[in-house]
Amino acid sequence: MTTNLKEYSNLRLSIENFIGKIQIYRPEKRNAMDPQSWAELDCAVAELNDNDGVRVIVITGHEKTFVAGADIQWIHDRKPLDIYGLAVQDVLLNVYNSNKPVIAVINGYALGGGCELALACDIRVGCETAQLGQPEINLGILPAGGGTQHLTRIVGLAKAKEMIFTGDFIDAEEAHRLGLLNHVVPNDELMDKAYEIARKIAKKSPIAVQMVKIALNQSPTTDLPSGLALEKSLQAVLFSTKDKKEGTKAFLEKRKPIFKGE
C-alpha cells in the first residue's frame, strides 16, 4: 500500500509489500532525463532509502522505453563548464549506494544515461525487446554518468570499448550473454520476474542485505585484505542483530524465519 509519498512530475512512485517502485515517466521524450528528472530520481531514491517499509527498490520505464538517455536538447544548449553543475554522476552514485537492493526492470530502450542508470542498479532484468547502448559517441560526447567505469566492470574492457566506440545498441540476448542482464523474459512476464526476485530478497533480513551490498560494492575497487577485513567487521555487526538470532533459531526449529530488520 502507498501512503504519504511525495508527488513527482517525471516519475511515479509506489510502495507495496516492502517493494518500492519508481517508474520514470516522461513519455513524450522517451523518458529522456532532463535536470528535473535527475533531481526527482535522486529525491525518490532518498525517500525510499529512508522508508523502513521498503526493502527492495524497482526502477522501470514506460511503454517501450526504460530511459532514452540524457535530454539531448539540454545537452545541445549547454556550455563546457555547465557539466560541473550537472548532478548525474552523483545521482547515479546514490542509486549505486542505495541502502536497499535496486532492480532495473528494462522494458525497452536503455540508452546513454538510461544504460548508466541500469548499470548503477544491482540487478538488471530485461524483456526480449530490450536494447541497451551507450550512443553518446554519435553526439560527439562520452558516457559521463559512470558508463566508462561501470560498463567495463560488468562486460569487460574489450566489449565496453566496442560498445562505446561504435555507439551500437545490443539486444537483450547479447546483453544476457555478456552478463549485462541477469535475466531476459518475454515482455509480458517482465514485471512478474522482477517482482519474483524482489519478493525473495524482501523476505531476507534487511540489515544483512544492506551489509552484503556494502561489502559487494567495495569488491571491485578494494584489495583483498581490506575487503576481507570489511567483510569480517560487517559480519560482527550482523552477529549482534535480532535477525541473526531469528534466522539461526528458525533453522534449528525447522521453520521459516521472520526477519524484522532489528
In terms of CB distance, is 32 or 127 closer to ligand COA?
32
Do residues 147 and 141 make contact, with C-beta atoms less than 8 angstroms apart? no
In terms of CB distance, is 50 or 77 closer to ligand COA?
77
Alpha-carbon gap, residue 175 to 234, rounded angstroms: 33
Q: Work out how close the CB of 34 gets to ligand COA at its nearest, in angstroms, rounded to a whole number.
A: 8
Q: Work out how close the CB of 211 gets to ligand COA at its nearest, in angstroms, rounded to a whole number.
A: 35
* Interaction site with ligand COA (CB under 6 A): 29-30, 32, 65, 68-73, 109, 111-112, 135-136, 139
Do residues 191 and 105 make contact, with C-beta atoms less than 8 angstroms apart? yes
C-alpha cell read off for 233: 567487521
**Residue 61: what residue type?**
G
In terms of CB distance, is 187 or 222 closer to ligand COA?
187
Residue 112's alpha-carbon distances to 56, 62, 67, 116, 259, in angstroms, are 25, 17, 8, 6, 38
- Out of 136, 189, 253, 262, the active site residue is 136
C-alpha cell read off for 250: 528458525
Apex 56 CA angle, 169 and 218, nearest 5: 70
Residues in Cβ contact with 101 at an 8 Å cutoff, skipping those fewer than 6 apart: 56, 57, 122, 123, 201, 209, 213
In terms of CB distance, is 101 or 112 closer to ligand COA?
112
- Out of 7, 47, 63, 116, the active site residue is 116
Alpha-carbon gap, residue 87 to 142, rounded angstroms: 16
Annotation marks residue 128 as catalytic: no
Q: CA nearest 208: which of 197, 216, 218, 199?
A: 216
In terms of CB distance, is 19 or 75 closer to ligand COA?
75
Residue 176's alpha-carbon distances to 23, 94, 159, 168, in angstroms, are 23, 25, 13, 16
Annotation marks residue 28 as catalytic: no
Sheet architecture: strand order including 170-171: 65-67, 109-111, 131-133, 170-171
In terms of CB distance, is 48 or 164 closer to ligand COA?
164
Q: Which residues are catalytic?
A: 116, 136
